[in-house]
Amino acid sequence: MLLDITRLLDRALRGLRPTGVDRVGLAYVRHFGSRAAALVRFGGRWLVMDERDSDQLYSGLLSPDETFSARVRWLVGRSYCFSWRSPTKGAVLLNVTHSGLDDGDYAAQVRRYGLRPVYFLHDLIPIEFPEYARPGEPERHRRRVDTMVNTGAGLIVNSACTRQAFEAYAGSLGMKVPPRVVALLGTPEFPARHHTSPLEAPYFVALGTIEPRKNHLLLLHVWRDLVHRLGAQVPRLVIIGRRGWECEQVVDLLERCEVLRGVVIEIPECDDSMLSAWLAHAQALLFPSFAEGYGIPLVEALSLGTPVIASDLPVFRELAGDIPEYLDPLDGSGWRQAIIDYASLSNERRAAQLARLNGWRSPTWKAHFQKVEAFLKELGA
């Protein structure tokens, strides 16, 4: 078995905090690392690392230290120059991060080496909602999906909604799709609960990269209105996530709106310990996205016992049933009233959601990999 870790290494070397896709990749490193050779695509070659070097790369990804960058460059460079091994014909290849799939050479190399790829499809958002994607991303994502369909021995998807979107897209183009399995993503194991809130005032959390699809603009306009209505009693809005692309209006409000100064708190970087503290003590997680392939923040919040106010998306209902408070992402007055209600710990509306939350069990990586292992066995992998 081969595990393509090219994206994980590249982002780690650049000092980038793991995204949701990266967290999935790291979970696969933890689960399959003991029996999969690391595949690194570098300098036009596909490098298959030996067992010792694979273990070192996996260890560095899971527990990076100050020697990580130098160690990765040495191991990959040495393999490239002196101990280059090609993939073994017929080997199973796991690519769970979409990495390289938009390059036509990826499919060519898979066929050249006679590999049996199993891919992970996270979503079809760039194809379904090109207005929320970076320029050129819809076409790149079509090429990724084409690679999955034309070369894949199997396909893992994170939700039934993603599977349905994929099947509809493939069907519209007359594609013959590979076998596929739905395996919900596991919930991160957060550090021990912080007993002290990171903020004295009541607050709500919005978690995710600042980009148009996440609908931060709605929240900022709601908050500006709340300041006028509630004055000093207005709850705080904590935005956790880096600034992304084409979000100039949101940035303008964050930087130039005096009404929001001190009321909206922006946190671009946040480790798991602080993230769990912010989520655990929040009045609610606010998740007004227009589209999602999954919904990791929703699952994270509910796993910590924090209420969620979210867009009424099918994937959210697949993950959490009727537990969250669902609203249309364009219903500004509805969001405003929900925030006012949830700002009080004793509010009946908030208490009702906490009651619904009793007995909820978050998806686990154990259950995820049980499905994946059974799927690989069906494929003869």
**Residue 289 clears pLDDT 90, i.e. is over it:** yes
Say how far apart CA 96 and CA 314 lie, in whole Å.
23
Angle at 105 between CA 372 and CA 89, to 5 degrees: 55
Backbone torsions φ then ψ of 351, nearest 5 degrees? -60, -35
Tens digit of pLDDT for each residue in 296-322? 999 999 999 999 999 999 999 999 999
Tell me the per-residue pLDDT of 12-58, one tens digit each, with 9 for 90 and over: 999 888 888 999 999 999 999 999 999 999 988 899 999 999 999 99
Residue 186: pLDDT above 90?
yes
Ramachandran sector of residue 319 (left: φ over 0; alpha: ψ -120 to 50; beta: rest): alpha
313: left (phi over 0), alpha (psi -120 to 50) or beta: beta
From CA 38, how far away is CA 342, in angstroms rounded? 47
| CA separation for the pair 212, 204 (Å, rounded) | 20
Q: What is the CATH number of domain 203-357?
A: 3.40.50.2000
CA dihedral for 278, 279, 284, 290, sign (positive or negative): positive
Cβ neighbour number for residue 195 with a 10 Å cutoff: 8
Task: Indicate the CATH number of 2-186+366-378 among 2.30.30, 3.40.50, 3.30.1370, 2.60.40.
Answer: 3.40.50
Whether residue 48 contacts residue 87, with contact meaning beta carbons closer than 8 Å, is answered with yes
Q: Do the bridges between strand 37-42 and strand 45-48 make them parallel or antiparallel, or are there none, so unpaired? A: antiparallel
Match 């079809």 to its residue by tokens: 124
pLDDT value, residue 368: 98
How far apart CA 378 and CA 381 sit, in angstroms, is: 7
**37-42 sheet: strands from edge to edge:** 45-48, 37-42, 2-4, 92-95, 116-121, 154-157, 180-182
pLDDT, one tens digit per residue, over 48-104 is: 999 999 999 999 999 998 999 999 999 999 888 887 778 889 999 999 999 999 998
Over residues 255-281, the pLDDT tens digits come to 999 999 999 999 998 888 899 999 999
Measured from the Cβ of residue 190, the count of other Cβ atoms closer than 10 Å reads: 17
Share of the chain above pLDDT 70, in %: 99
User: What token pair was written down for 120?
Assistant: 């992970």
Global confidence as pTM: 0.93
Neighbour-count burial of 135, counting CB atoms closer than 10 A to its CB (0-12 exposed, 13-18 middle, 19+ buried): exposed
Domain with CATH 3.40.50.2000 in the chain: 203-357
Cα 283 from Cα 206, distance rounded (Å) = 11
pLDDT, tens digit, 9 for 90 and up, residues 128-185: 999 999 999 999 999 999 999 999 999 999 999 999 999 999 999 999 999 999 999 9
3-state secondary structure the chain: CEEECHHHHHHHHCCCCCCHHHHHHHHHHHHHHHHCEEEEEECCEEEECCHHHHHHHHHHHHCCCCCHHHHHHHHHHHHHHCCCCCCCCCCEEEECCCCCCCCHHHHHHHHHHCCEEEEEECCCHHHHCHHHCCCCHHHHHHHHHHHHHHHCCEEEECCHHHHHHHHHHHHHCCCCCCCEEECCCCCCCCCCCCCCCCCCCCEEEEECCECHHHCHHHHHHHHHHHHHHHHHHCCEEEEECCECCCCHHHHHHHHHCHHHECCEEEECCCCHHHHHHHHHCCCCEEECCCCCCCCHHHHHHHHCCCCEEEECCHHHHHHHCCCCEEECCCCHHHHHHHHHHHCCCCCHHHHHHHHHHCCCCCCCHHHHHHHHHHHHHHCCC
What token pair was written down for 374?
A: 């059974």
